[in-house]
Amino acid sequence: MKLNLKIWRQENASEKGRLVDYQLDGVTTHMSFLEMMDMLNQQLIEKGERTIEFDHDCREGICGQCGMMINGRAHGPLANTTTCQLHMRSFKDGETIYVEPFRSSAFTVLRDLKVDRGSFDRIIQAGGFISAATGQAPEANSIPIAHETAEAAFDAAACIGCGACVATCKNSSAALFTAAKVVHLAILPQGKLETAKRVDAMVQQMDAEGFGHCSNTEACEVECPQGISVLHIARFNFLYHQSRLMSKT
């Protein structure tokens, strides 16, 4: 198939970018979106032009590295899919495809489609951990956890931090990401103890990074590759209010 591509090109974080047109022939429907991008880059190399830079790592849909705005949708037209798991069969021959980086003031475009999501790391650093002494792994059965609880914690922990929730949110809110991390720890006995402190710290960091508020449009759940439920946001809200009501300061 033949494609008309309009791809965001930007030299660095401080310079302004723009959409550049490319034509690509010989794309097969079996290719993943990233393989199509590789093919285009190969042609650019042969022409002696600078390649289009984009994030990617495992290409198995589990690492959370890849992420592009494809035809105005985070990770492209399919719901709950990473960019690497999107295949060219989702597009038509002769189609025009817009490719842009995930946008938010908390995500800096470093070059082309490559985005700095360090703001997510800093939210985790603010409280997304438990203050247990490290050492040998403890005996697994010493802390009883019900199967349903473990499953629920896994559902939240499945977040791969790709940033699609922020990119698709009309307010650039990091609520789904932060909520997933907060709830994951809050429902397990090891993480429960520090919930109040953790929620407060992560909310403060989320705001300091410049993410917007959540207005419950639920778009994030649709675009999330892991299908993290928006009910985690509700629980995160509950835990935040609880932490504020019970706080001693």
Q: In one letter, which amino acid is 9?
A: R
Burial 124-155 (b: 16+ CB within 10 A, else e): eebbbeeeeeeeeeeeeeeeeeeeeeeebbeb
Residues that bind another protein (CB under 8 A): 6, 8, 19, 69, 71-74, 79, 98, 100, 103-106, 109, 122, 126, 168, 170-173, 200-201, 203-208, 210-219, 222-223, 230-235, 237-242, 244
Distances (CA, A) of 161 to 70, 175, 198: 18, 12, 18
HSE-up of residue 218 (Cα within 13 Å, Cβ side): 4
- Tell me how far, at minimum, the Cβ of 141 lies from another protein, in Å: 29
- Tell me how far, at minimum, the Cβ of 142 lies from another protein, in Å: 29
- Tell me how far, at minimum, the Cβ of 137 lies from another protein, in Å: 29
Tokens 């705005």 belong to which residue? 69
Q: Which lies closer to another protein via its Cβ, residue 63 or residue 124? A: 124
- Tell me how far, at minimum, the Cβ of 238 lies from another protein, in Å: 3
- Alpha-carbon gap, residue 214 to 211, rounded angstroms: 9
Q: Which lies closer to another protein via its Cβ, residue 12 or residue 42? A: 12
Q: Which lies closer to another protein via its Cβ, residue 11 or residue 57? A: 11
Q: Which lies closer to another protein via its Cβ, residue 66 or residue 186? A: 186
Tokens 């008309």 belong to which residue? 4
Q: How many CB atoms neighbour CB 199 within 10 A?
A: 26
- Tell me how far, at minimum, the Cβ of 24 lies from another protein, in Å: 18
Q: Which lies closer to another protein via its Cβ, residue 45 or residue 208? A: 208
- Alpha-carbon gap, residue 171 to 113, rounded angstroms: 21
